Amino acid sequence: MSVAENKGGGPGPVVRLGTRERILVATLALFNQKGPEAVTTAEIAKAVHINQGNLYYHFRTKESLVLALFARFEADALMLVKEADAVQGADSKAYAGFLRKWFSLVWTHRFLFRDIPGLLATAPALRAPILMVSGGMRLSVDVIFQRMEDAGLISVADEDRKPLLTNMWIVSTYWAVYLGLQEGVHELGPQHVHWGLSQVSGLLRPYLSDEAKADLDAMLSEPFA
């Protein structure tokens, strides 16, 4: 990434993205819009205004592009976990916000969730990092559950915790696949992400205290954009 002086009298320097960064930004937009299987390397190169040789210099295959974008999603997910780890005490609004931030992250990288079956065919090397992120997120949510339980915000029987965590992860990961297969939704909008968020919240609500339910419902009442 390079930084050039701002000649327009603005508040700071003008940041010019390097070629690799511009490729990833364009690829994410195209993958989100059309799906990885429908996007060609020629189309990506055209969007970045470079030739395909320059694209191949940075990314030799479409699989390498998918893996690079997943690495960014993984880094963002780890940052979200760190934010959640910093929450202390009975702050149910912060816990509800964590759930919303997760779905905001899903929206930013929605092709990863909408196109999982095809992605694993295009990029089989994606399976291992997906499993790693899945395991890490589920562990983090389990820790959050314990904190909420200690604060009196949630009550989950020991025998129910593992099934609840599993079902929450299944829904939060595969809701977009469900909409595509069962409802014929192939172009996700913010309203569909809010639908997925509502499904996960529905799994969680029966176990929450009145205070936590109120904060969850307040979070869900906000438009998703």
- Per-residue pLDDT band at 3 (split at 50, 70, 90): very low
CA–CA separation, 195 vs 128, rounded Å? 28
- pTM score, two decimals? 0.80
The per-residue pLDDT for range 123-175, each reduced to its tens digit, is 888 888 888 888 888 888 888 888 889 999 999 999 999 899 889 988 988 88
Return the higher-pLDDT residue of 123 and 203. 203
Written as one string, the DSSP assignment of 110-131 is HHHHHTHHHHHHH-GGGHHHHH
31-55 residue pLDDT tens: 999 988 889 999 999 999 999 999 9
**What CA–CA distance (Å, rounded) separates 128 from 141?**
20
Residue 189's nearest CA partner among 100, 104, 107, 114 is 107
SS3 154: strand
The pLDDT of residue 6? 47
pLDDT of residue 1: 42
Q: Residue range 8-31: average pLDDT?
A: 78
What confidence tier does 13 reach under pLDDT thresholds 50, 70, 90?
Answer: low
